[in-house]
Chain A
Amino acid sequence: DADVTQTPRNRITKTGKRIMLECSQTKGHDRMYWYRQDPGLGLRLIYYSFDVKDINKGEISDGYSVSRQAQAKFSLSLESAIPNQTALYFCATSEPYRAGGTDTQYFGPGTRLTVL
């Protein structure tokens, strides 16, 4: 079974619709992240959460909101979808960094979102 799951895997919606992308993890990690990926642009951080009561904006949070319902669940919402939010969305978790090291991130399979 996958450690980080995302639903749905694919979604087509229309401009102005509200949509929620869900992420669940069984790794027991406190830290969770949402990224979007556009062709040729790598991954950009939207929001991240270090525990259930902690939510932080990332590089490109405008137009998005998140909810951390439990340690294992982190949802991303587009309140009013627009076409330039068409992208591949990834959820990730990370382990607290070892002494002197950087967190290792574990990514979900991605959600391909198309906004018409």
Chain B
Amino acid sequence: LAKTTQPISMDSYEGQEVNITCSHNNIATNDYITWYQQFPSQGPRFIIQGYKTKVTNEVASLFIPADRKSSTLSLPRVSLSDTAVYYCLVGERLPDKLSFGAGTTVTVRA
């Protein structure tokens, strides 16, 4: 099970880009990198998943360098509603093999 390390918290302001980096030095060949978002008093919600290079969807971008030992979730032009906890998960298969750590609490201020 790949261990992940991400910052405990980050502060930002509306309109800025937020980049959250997750370290996973012992990532295995078949592991994927997945990010979830959790708003207060709600369950986590899938944001994005990737294996290598860059993945983009309507919510975020995920940058993965060639060595795959880290990944960066990028949230463009954040708003107050992006205040949430963001979890980085690394693993090959089913959620029983993955681990939700403490995540990164992102606070967006006006």
Query: A-side interface residues toward B, CB under 8 Å?
Result: 4, 31, 33, 35, 40-45, 48, 50, 56, 58, 90, 92, 94, 97, 100-110
Contacts and interface: CB of A to CB of B under 8 A. Distances in A.
Of A31, A33, A35, A107, chain B has the most CB atoms within 10 Å of the CB of A107
Q: Is the interface of B mostly helix, strand, loop or mixed?
A: loop
Given A101-B49, A107-B43, A42 B87 contact: yes
A97 B93 contact: yes
Nearest to B92: A102
B5 to A, nearest CB: 13
Interface of B: 30, 32, 34, 36, 41-46, 49, 51, 87, 89, 91-96, 98-103
A40 to B, nearest CB: 6
Nearest to A90: B43
A43 to B, nearest CB: 4
Contact of A40 (B43, B44, B94, B102): B102
18 contacts: A4-B43, A31-B94, A42-B102, A90-B44, A94-B94, A97-B94, A100-B30, A100-B51, A102-B34, A102-B89, A102-B91, A102-B93, A102-B95, A105-B36, A105-B46, A107-B43, A108-B43, A110-B41
B98 A102 contact: yes
Contact of A105 (B93, B95, B101): B95
A41 B103 CA distance: 9
Contact of B100 (A43, A101, A110): A43
Given A42-B102, A102-B49, A102-B91, A56 B96 contact: yes
B95 A94 contact: yes
Nearest to A33: B95
Contacts of A103: 93-95
Given A50-B94, A94-B95, A107-B44, 19 more contacts: A40-B102, A41-B102, A42-B99, A42-B103, A48-B96, A90-B43, A94-B94, A97-B94, A101-B32, A102-B49, A102-B92, A102-B98, A104-B46, A104-B49, A105-B44, A107-B42, A108-B43, A110-B41, A110-B42
